[in-house]
Amino acid sequence: MKTLPLALVQRFAFVSSQLLAIVVCVCFANAAIASRPNFIVILADDLGWADLGCYGNSFNETPSIDKLAKHGMRFTQFYAGPVCSPTRANLQSGLDQARFGITQHIPGHRRPFAKLADPVVPLQLPLEVETYAERLSAFGYQTGYFGKWHLGDKGYSPAQQGWQTVFECHGNALPPKDTGESESRRTAEYLTDKAVAFIESNRERPFVVQVSHQAVHIPLSTTPELLTKYQAKKPDTDYPSNPSYAGLTEELDRSVGRIMDAVDRAGIAENTLILFLSDNGGLEHEQSGRIVTSNNPLRGEKGTLYEGGIRIPAIASWKGRIAEDSLCEITAMTIDVHPTFVDLAQPESTAKPESTAKLLDGVSIASLFRDPKSSLRRHSLYWHLPHYHHSTPASAVRQGDWKLIEFFEDNSLELYNLAIDVAEQNNLASVEPTRAKELHAALQAWRKNVNARLPTTNPDYNPARADQLGKGKERKASPKE
């Protein structure tokens, strides 16, 4: 057997060491990518704080969502915007929607003869706004968005905001032209098909997926099977017990169950955070007056700044990382989703969230997953609804247990201690004038800081027609709008 020359042996050893180093680096890099958590956001539409079994509802059946809460953490004081587009804007951006003027659903509706003329609503989320999908894409994440967007179209869709795999739709049923199938499909089921396929195809690399349901938004509909089931069920004496609403809620619940099963089948439960949220409080009644649901014991509904309009059901589940059957009573908000995901996903080699936190209005709530009693780096929560919806134009601030609402029509203030008055029945503004003044000053300073757009006096005001909906006189946005 011939002996190789020493130089060749040394050369071979050098090349082998370099190849080994490359392989090791690649392995470590792949391990780092694989160790980053996956994120699943399931966003319900108009689902109220009191609509789920795990929040005390005894008519609607939600075993999968209840299971998600049992295996994770249920929030009791989680907030959203008062209507859909504002919430979707702050969730995607981590910035308060008032900065963009998206303080009403896009495109909004108008009351041309009301006392105030509300600001014009922009028709899209600006493309220069960095979504959490764009942030995570830069970290090597695969991104998928399925369902309702409501932040613009014609060049302002999810595909232009960092979402790589996209299926956008509206309504609780999809016609064949939307799905390419021979028959219509229930939207919740079809979106779940998309989400499950996305999870299965990306199980070996980090991903984020948002499933934005239409359920339980009106017009209400459900399957014949579920409608029959709830029509036969004895109504709850303390809840509207609407069979169509209950059936649609169960369709949403089945979607959550299938997504949970897909995560388990893929073997990624220990590396996947599932976050279930609603985009605002429940719609208690339609414009026609028909009762849809109830947010009791909370006051108000979607389109108001009372607790029933902004406090939402919220559940976080992450096997081995979030304690099972845990409860979090710390205030948090949809605006916190973006910084939380960045906090958990950001590679060690890049700047930590503290360096970019000043650029966002939301804060990371990752610490709450470890300890539901931990404090957050935040003093106040704010809302701005300078529009007519199910209330008159208003702003609100919460500090600790105290919440103040300012109504713009008459400049009145309402002050509540939510620790003892969650139903907001006892206005303490005259009893606690110093506190009311301090909170009002904080609210005014915040509006100035975010350049919030305010309603103006309406020259066409007609008290007899103030509640009438319509286009009214066309007007352009002012420079401040």
Cα distances from 249 to residues 63, 70, 252, 279, 444, in angstroms, run 11, 18, 5, 15, 39
Task: Looking at the structure, tell me whether residues 300 and 363 fall in a common domain.
Answer: yes
Determine, yes or no, domain membership for 405. yes
pLDDT of the residue at 471? 62
* Residue 411, domain extent: 393-450
Lookup: tokens for 325: 């059957």
C-alpha to C-alpha distance for 412 and 393, rounded to whole angstroms: 11
Determine, yes or no, domain membership for 214. yes
pLDDT of the residue at 30? 43
pTM: 0.90
Determine, yes or no, domain membership for 475. no
- Percent helix / strand / coil, the chain, rounded to 5: 35, 15, 50
Q: How far is CA 154 from the centre of its chain?
A: 23
Determine, yes or no, domain membership for 3. no
Task: Looking at the structure, tell me whether residues 365 and 432 fall in a common domain.
Answer: no
C-alpha to C-alpha distance for 478 and 473, rounded to whole angstroms: 15
Burial degree of 442 (CB within 10 A; 0-12, 13-18, 19+): middle
Task: Looking at the structure, tell me whether residues 170 and 62 fall in a common domain.
Answer: yes
Task: Looking at the structure, tell me whether residues 371 and 316 fall in a common domain.
Answer: yes
Task: Looking at the structure, tell me whether residues 305 and 446 fall in a common domain.
Answer: no
pLDDT of the residue at 346? 87
Of 264, 268, 267, 275, whose CA–CA distance to 68 is shortest?
275
Determine, yes or no, domain membership for 386. no
C-alpha to C-alpha distance for 358 and 363, rounded to whole angstroms: 9
Task: Looking at the structure, tell me whether residues 58 and 150 fall in a common domain.
Answer: yes
CATH number of the domain encompassing residue 403: 3.30.1120.10
At 207, which helix (H) or strand (E)? Answer: strand 207-212
Task: Looking at the structure, tell me whether residues 312 and 262 fall in a common domain.
Answer: yes
Task: Looking at the structure, tell me whether residues 228 and 304 fall in a common domain.
Answer: yes
Q: In the Cβ-directed half-sphere of 338, how many Cα atoms lie within 13 Å?
A: 24
Neighbours of 320 (CB within 10 A): 9
Sequence-distant (6+) residues with CB within 8 A of 149 are: 88, 157, 158, 168, 212
Residue after which a domain boundary falls, among 358, 380, 402: 380
What domain count does the chain have?
2
CATH number of the domain encompassing residue 248: 3.40.720.10
Determine, yes or no, domain membership for 159. yes
Determine, yes or no, domain membership for 331. yes
Q: How confident is the chain (481 residues) per 10-residue block, as mean pLDDT? A: 46 43 38 74 98 98 98 98 98 98 94 96 96 97 98 96 97 96 97 98 97 97 98 96 97 98 98 98 88 96 98 98 98 98 83 59 97 94 97 97 98 98 98 98 98 97 92 41 35
Task: Looking at the structure, tell me whether residues 98 and 53 fall in a common domain.
Answer: yes
Task: Looking at the structure, tell me whether residues 244 and 153 fall in a common domain.
Answer: yes
Lookup: tokens for 156: 């302002």
Determine, yes or no, domain membership for 438. yes
Task: Looking at the structure, tell me whether residues 134 and 237 fall in a common domain.
Answer: yes
Task: Looking at the structure, tell me whether residues 375 and 400 fall in a common domain.
Answer: no
